[in-house]
Amino acid sequence: MTSVKKSRATLIGVVLAFALPVIGAKFVLDQSWYQGAATNKGTMLMPPIKLNEALQAQLPEGWRVALVADEACGAKCEQGLYAMNQLDVALGKESDRVKPLVFSRNELSFDLNQTPLVTSIVNPAFADALSDLPPYRLFIIDPMGNVMLHYETFGDEEAMRAEAKNLLSDLRTLLKLSRIG
């Protein structure tokens, strides 16, 4: 083999060594063979629900974990409220950055003394703004008024405890990465 042919073969080999992985990656992405990993454990709302300025002004500062309840708060609702109340202990030094809330259209018929850290906000506008969420879901509201993640509630204590751990994990990640609230 002459030196010219040897040089061309080397050049083609070097170009292929760099081009083939790029072409292969493009092909895999175009064929949807790769599913990107998600680190959040809750259900992401795309696009997030944005609360208007008037509603946002009625909320306490910082991050909020909330639940929309009605007068007939059953086992799912009660377990969700209990999980939100326990966030204060679980978050430790970050607990002052997160406020647990329960929204309702009318005064709630159940007693919130079992969950003293949960603040009740009676305002039908919140229930209307969050009507796209499935009923009895825990959700995270960021300091800018975006509802971004939601979590299912369960009547079973063990299942709710597991889901509360997922909420806590996502909340810790958000608080760690956030410079606001």
SS3 label, residue 87: helix
2 lies in which domain range? Answer: 1-36
Q: Which regions of 36-136 does DSSP assign to beta strands (E)?
A: 43-50, 63-68, 98-104, 119-122
Q: Do 73 and 31 sit in the same domain of this protein?
A: no
Q: How far, in Å, are 48, 65, 93, 171, 172 from residue 176 at the CA level?
A: 20, 16, 12, 8, 6
Q: Do 112 and 63 sit in the same domain of this protein?
A: yes
pTM more than 0.85: no
Q: Do 103 and 142 sit in the same domain of this protein?
A: yes
Q: Do 75 and 59 sit in the same domain of this protein?
A: yes
Q: How many C-beta atoms lie closer than 10 Å to residue 167's C-beta?
A: 23
Q: Find out whether 99 and 115 touch, Cβ atoms under 8 Å.
A: no
pLDDT of res. 1: 67
d(CA 120, CA 107): 9
60-108: per-residue pLDDT in tens? 999 999 999 887 778 888 899 999 999 888 998 999 999 999 998 888 7
pLDDT of res. 175: 92
Residues of the chain with pLDDT under 50: none
